[in-house]
Amino acid sequence: MASAISANRAELLAIATAVATEKMIDKAIVIEAMEEAIQKSARNRYGAENDIRAKLDPRSGDLRLWRVVEDYFKQVDLKQAEKLQAGAAIGDFIVDPLPPVDLGRIDAQSAKQVIFQKVRDAERDRQYEEFKDRANEVITGVIKSVEFGHVIVNLGRAEGVIRRDQQIPREVPRVGERVRALIMKVERTNRGPQIFLSRAHPEFMKKLFAQEVPEIYDGIIEIKAAARDPGSRAKIGVISRDSSIDPVGACVGMKGSRVQAVVQELQGEKIDIIPWSEDTATFVVNALQPATVSRVVIDEEESRIEVVVPDDQLSLAIGRRGQNVRLASSLTGSAIDIMTEAEASEKRQKEFTERSKTFEEELDVDETLSQLLVAEGFSELEEVAYIEISELSNIDGFDDELAGELQNRALEALERREEGQREERRAMGVEDALAEMPHITEAMLVVLGKAGIKTLDDLADLSTDELITRKKVTEQRRRSNNTDRPERRERSERSEDKGGVLGEFGLNDEQGNEIIMAARAHWFEDEPAASTEEAADAESSQ
């Protein structure tokens, strides 16, 4: 760039045009960079205290250089001003033209650095503006290098990176190969825009289907859900807005041509295409294909789904290393517990026995009556105590007198239980003030006491999430070492993520916020009193 300063007019414009074309930036930015570089070098020649300006005409290439006289320290008398500018008057703004300068090697090198920096900044801004709104778009590039397991991709006008965790396992990237990836996000940094790419994200697979299946691109077919185990297996749930078009068949294509194109791009990843349904139970049954499902029980409060399968379908439903049930769980957005018919029967029998025993002891009734209540769908004392008495009396063998007696006994049992819980939490030192909080029961106070939360301040220090977030439970099936009975080689392992202190009670966010704010109310009640005491102390001191 040394010649850019001393070059003739045509050369200056030619250089500006060439740089702008190469870097794909506005020519005006390059000319502005040249002007700034010439100004900086001219100040070094004439003195840094001078305000020197340079102007390069973008059409003719003419370069003008001048010094501005504008403040007290740069004032000139009227005679000198008239020499610089004809007809000058006191108070005018004076411009002192300067002759062109022939810059030396050091000045030229400095000017070159200024131009390069300005052009580089403009190039980074252009790259960011070009890619900032292209998140979730599939882009094609050429692998430039592989650094520490991360793949650097040349995107033409910028570079992107596919981090190790966003690559397809066992895929070997080679320098010079073309690669397609999803733009996950674009961030502005001091080193320029960072473009993060992914080949492992479920959205990448959905975009590939949109490219291969015209009905998806046109919006006739929609991919409602997708889940992937990158490089191994994936599931997508599709639905058609046109009843005459089969969504699964359209995605598969003639002789599987459409889905195979996606499979090849994903390095042989097997893809299950299943019909999506608004009915959760139906969708779960579809999601667990190719396994056959006998029964589905949905727990909406816990967001869990219990699936019962025939004994010979257990391994197929779970999949290798739990892959099938894990993908189905991700697809439906709910935790899925899989059990055999025998296990489900054993579980139901155990629950039936436990509930019958509870009713028998708490209501002081015989085994036959307690079992009848369970058989009619009652599982908790609260259900017996607060249900409409007519629903109890309508049970075969019941009348109004028996129904009323059962309700009275249920209420008395609940009172005894609550009194026992009250004594337990008081023994732990939990303040009575906590019992006055909205939505708080004695059972909750016992749990709070066991967690060390015994005062209003202890409760007020918690966030809503720390108080009510539900515990996340993940159940997986693993192989046991018992080889004698093949049908029992699957065993269940349960892992739990610690939730909120009262997560088991099913409180919602609104109730949680109300409890926390009520616990903090005494903090604000103390402020006026404290201010009054300070004012009284100040008055007495006077």
Q: How far is CA 424 from the centre of its chain?
A: 42
Give the pairing type, strands 159-162 and 304-309: unpaired
Alpha-carbon dihedral 253, 256, 257, 261, rounded to 10 degrees = 110
In terms of Cα–Cα distance, which of 159, 329, 31 is closest to 39?
Answer: 31
The CA-CA-CA angle for residues 276, 277, 281, to 5°, reads 115
CB-based contact 340:308 (threshold 8 Å): yes
Q: Which of 149, 160, 170 is nearest to 197 (CA)?
A: 160
Nearest CA among 142, 159, 161, 141 for reference residue 151: 161
Query: Do residues 332 and 283 make contact, with C-beta atoms less than 8 angstroms apart?
Result: yes
| Res 345: pLDDT | 86
Contacts with 279 (C-beta within 8 Å, 6 or more apart), sequence order: none
pLDDT for the residue numbered 390: 86
CB 309 within 8 A of CB 338: yes
CA 428/CA 414 separation, integer angstroms: 21
Look at residues 341, 327, 239, 231 and name the one whose alpha carbon lies nearest to residue 287. Answer: 327
CA distance to 201, 439, 453, per residue, from 513 (Å): 35, 11, 17
pLDDT of the residue at 540: 47
CA distances from 29 to 15, 52, 115, 146 (A): 13, 19, 10, 34
Those residues with Cβ within 8 angstroms of residue 38's Cβ, 6 or more apart along the chain or in another chain: 5, 54, 56, 63, 65, 111
Q: In sequence order, what DSSP letters do the residues of 81-100 get, joined into one string?
A: HHHHSTT--TT--EEEEE--
- Round to whole Å and give the CA distance between 429 and 423: 10
Query: Is 78 exposed, middle or buried, given 0-12, 13-18 or 19+ CB atoms closer than 10 A?
Result: exposed
Q: For residues 532 and 402, give the distance between their C-alpha atoms in angstroms, rounded to a whole number.
A: 62
| Cα distance between residue 180 and residue 200, in whole Å | 11
The Cα 459–Cα 451 span in angstroms is 11
> If you count them, how many residues does the chain have?
542
Kindly tell me the burial class for residue 392, based on how many C-beta atoms sit within 10 Å of its own C-beta (0-12, 13-18, 19 or more). buried
pLDDT at 482: 41
And the tokens for 2? 């040394």
pLDDT of residue 203: 94
Tokens of 514: 């109300």
Reading the block at residue 113, the tokens are 């650095």
Sign of CA dihedral 317, 323, 325, 328: negative
Reduced to 3 states (helix: H, G, I; strand: E, B; else coil), residue 192 is strand
SS3 content of the chain, % helix, strand, coil (to 5): 50, 20, 30
Q: Where are the alpha helices (DSSP H) in 132-201?
A: none
- Is residue 12 within 8 Å of 100, Cβ to Cβ? no
Task: Specify the 3-state DSSP secondary structure of 254.
Answer: helix
Q: What is the full per-residue pLDDT of the chain (542 aa) written as tens digits?
A: 333 344 455 565 666 666 666 666 666 666 676 777 777 766 666 665 666 676 766 666 566 666 665 543 455 554 555 445 555 555 555 555 555 655 444 444 555 666 667 677 777 777 787 788 888 899 999 999 998 889 999 988 788 899 999 999 888 899 999 999 999 998 887 777 888 999 999 999 999 999 999 999 999 999 999 999 998 999 999 999 998 999 999 999 998 999 999 999 998 999 999 999 998 899 999 999 888 898 888 877 667 888 999 988 889 999 888 899 999 999 988 889 898 888 888 888 998 999 899 888 888 888 888 888 888 888 888 888 888 888 888 888 888 888 888 889 989 988 998 999 999 989 999 999 988 999 899 999 999 999 999 999 999 999 988 888 865 544 444 444 443 444 444 444 444 445 688 888 878 889 889 999 999 988 887 555 444 455 445 444 44
The whole model's pTM is what?
0.62
Closest CA to 372 of 411, 344, 403, 337: 403
pLDDT on residue 215:
93
Residue 487 has a pLDDT of: 40
DSSP state of 23: H
Structural domains in the chain, CATH included, are 3-122 (3.30.1480.10), 132-198 (2.40.50.140), 433-542 (no CATH)
